A = this chain, B = another copy of it.
Amino acid sequence: MNAYPKINAPRLLQRIADFAAVGATPAGGVNRQALSADDRAARRLLAELAVARGFGIYQDAVANLFIRRGGSDPSLPPVLIGSHLDSQPTGGRFDGALGTLSAFEVLESLEDADVVTERSIEVASWTNEEGSRFSPGCMGSMAFVGAGDILGWQDMHGVDGVRFGDELAATLNALPEAVTRPIGHSVSAFVEVHIEQGPVLERTGVPIGIVTGVQGTKWLEISFTGEAAHAGTTPLEFRRDPMAAAIGAIARLQQVVMPADPLARLTVGRMTVEPSSVNVIPSKVTFTVDIRHPEEGMLSSIEAQVIAECRVSSERHMVDVHTERRFDLAPGKFDKAIVDLIDNACERLNVSSMKLVSGAFHDALFIARVAPTAMIFVPCRDGISHNEAEFVTPENIETGAKVLLETTLSLAGGIMHTNG
């Protein structure tokens, strides 16, 4: 009998629970940092599930793991779906794992329904997306697109003092059944399911976010230096108050940047004050500005605006200003055709969706450099992520997997096939 492939939601929920047990923390989250023993255990579990279904297992030199279900034309570059299995030290059970296991559920559902696709489909689990043990994050996807310095990373040491090269080798050796593959094989498309890590979907009640791109990010550290003086004895005209300068500049930026542009993000997350005494006008105030925007030009223009407002404020308050860029990541745009495919999939499934731009980085940002790529977001409770309290409803998990399946079938040229 002809069966249209169907997501097995109870199985997917069980898989998520099974993987959450690997590196489980007492508070209900996971500590499965990249290339750790627990990360290896999660890779082993995925490999065993793959073997049980007869899927191929591959890994490359940076330990990116691929689970392959062959298509009718093995010469065509495969469709890649997936995410990552590593976590933050006190991470949640969904960040990464949800995308990897939803992708694996797609393979299993195709297998259950005896569907033959034209293209092969591979579940990718990228190495060290989080970057909490070894920096930078997204190592696997960066290396996959030729943007990572694999040789240079070898002698790096993690926050726990362990050498990256040793942990990488141990991880590769722990999966001897995997076929070694050259890094960066040809790929026809990549689709990643991930939790939103923000509040928009949950608060608007929309179960699917179709991600059109990833915001660019610039981090500035700004210091105003003035002159410490007595709060009581120093009139306004004699003050060189770096706090007043900082407040003036930030207040102005808050009035103009975000209200004027709904895609802009401007956050002051840190501020330190010297000497930090109630009755002393500060000598120095240092703060950070996190700027995000999906358009490179706007990102640069906001950065210029931040620096300009700080200069104006420094002159007005007769203090010195020093600005330093601490981080710079260009925005990424996802492929319009893939975005449209996801959109069509949602329509066919009668699932409401909205387009949005990711505020966080993802492996998809890098894979987009070599293949048409997009992402599917599902809501997470209160927008909370990188936190053991991370939570996604079973309904939203199922909906995300359904949309991924439908999209993957479109990309892989799915052919219904009766096996008996």
Chain A residues near B (Cβ < 8 Å): 196-200, 203, 215, 217, 219, 229-236, 238, 241, 243-244, 247-248, 250-251, 254, 258-259, 262, 265, 267-271, 273, 276-282, 288, 290, 292, 326-327, 358-360, 383, 385
Contacts A251-B251, A267-B281, A290-B279 given; indicate if A199 touches B229 (C-beta within 8 A).
Answer: yes
- Report yes or no: B235 in contact with A262, Cβ–Cβ below 8 A: yes
Contacts A229-B383, A244-B254, A254-B247 given; indicate if A234 touches B359 (C-beta within 8 A).
Answer: yes
> Shortest Cβ distance from A272 into chain B, in angstroms?
8
Most chain B C-beta atoms within 10 Å of own C-beta, residue among A241, A247, A383:
A247
Closest to A289 in B: B278
- Report yes or no: A199 in contact with B254, Cβ–Cβ below 8 A: no
Q: How far is the CA of A385 from the CA of B279 in the complex (A)?
A: 13
Interface of A is mostly: mixed
Contacts of A327 in B (CB 8 A): 278
> Shortest Cβ distance from A50 into chain B, in angstroms?
32
Contacts of A243 in B (CB 8 A): 267-269, 271
Q: How far is the CA of A281 from the CA of B271 in the complex (A)?
A: 12
Contacts of A244 in B (CB 8 A): 254, 268
Contacts A251-B251, A254-B248, A279-B267 given; indicate if A233 touches B196 (C-beta within 8 A).
Answer: yes
Q: How far is the CA of A273 from the CA of B243 in the complex (A)?
A: 14
Contacts of A282 in B (CB 8 A): 268-269
- Report yes or no: B358 in contact with A233, Cβ–Cβ below 8 A: yes
Contacts of A200 in B (CB 8 A): 233, 235, 238
Q: How far is the CA of A234 from the CA of B198 in the complex (A)?
A: 6
Contacts of A290 in B (CB 8 A): 231-232, 278-279
Closest to A380 in B: B233
Contacts A243-B268, A273-B270 given; indicate if A360 touches B230 (C-beta within 8 A).
Answer: yes
Q: How far is the CA of A270 from the CA of B278 in the complex (A)?
A: 6
- Report yes or no: A276 in contact with B265, Cβ–Cβ below 8 A: no
Q: How far is the CA of A282 from the CA of B229 in the complex (A)?
A: 29
Contacts of A273 in B (CB 8 A): 269-271
Contacts of A360 in B (CB 8 A): 230, 232-233
> Shortest Cβ distance from A246 into chain B, in angstroms?
9
- Report yes or no: A233 in contact with B197, Cβ–Cβ below 8 A: yes
Contacts of A248 in B (CB 8 A): 251, 254
Q: 7 nearest interchain CB pairs? A: A198-B233, A232-B359, A251-B251, A233-B359, A231-B267, A231-B290, A236-B258
Question: Which of these, B232, B238, B241, B262, contacts A292 with CB under 8 Å?
Answer: B232
> Shortest Cβ distance from A31 into chain B, in angstroms?
19
Q: How far is the CA of A191 from the CA of B120 in the complex (A)?
A: 95
Q: How far is the CA of A234 from the CA of B385 in the complex (A)?
A: 12
- Report yes or no: A232 in contact with B258, Cβ–Cβ below 8 A: no
Q: How far is the CA of A264 from the CA of B230 in the complex (A)?
A: 14
Question: Which of these, B232, B247, B383, contacts A247 with CB under 8 Å?
Answer: B247
Contacts A236-B259, A247-B247 given; indicate if A231 touches B383 (C-beta within 8 A).
Answer: no
Contacts of A269 in B (CB 8 A): 231, 243, 273, 276-282
6 contacts between A and B (CB under 8 A): A197-B230, A198-B229, A203-B238, A229-B383, A231-B359, A250-B251
Contacts A238-B200, A276-B270 given; indicate if A383 touches B230 (C-beta within 8 A).
Answer: yes
Contacts A200-B238, A383-B238 given; indicate if A265 touches B359 (C-beta within 8 A).
Answer: no
Q: How far is the CA of A282 from the CA of B271 in the complex (A)?
A: 10
- Report yes or no: B199 in contact with A265, Cβ–Cβ below 8 A: no
- Report yes or no: A234 in contact with B279, Cβ–Cβ below 8 A: no
Question: Which of these, B215, B233, B268, B280, contacts A383 with CB under 8 Å?
Answer: B233
Most chain B C-beta atoms within 10 Å of own C-beta, residue among A199, A230, A250, A265:
A230
Closest to A264 in B: B236
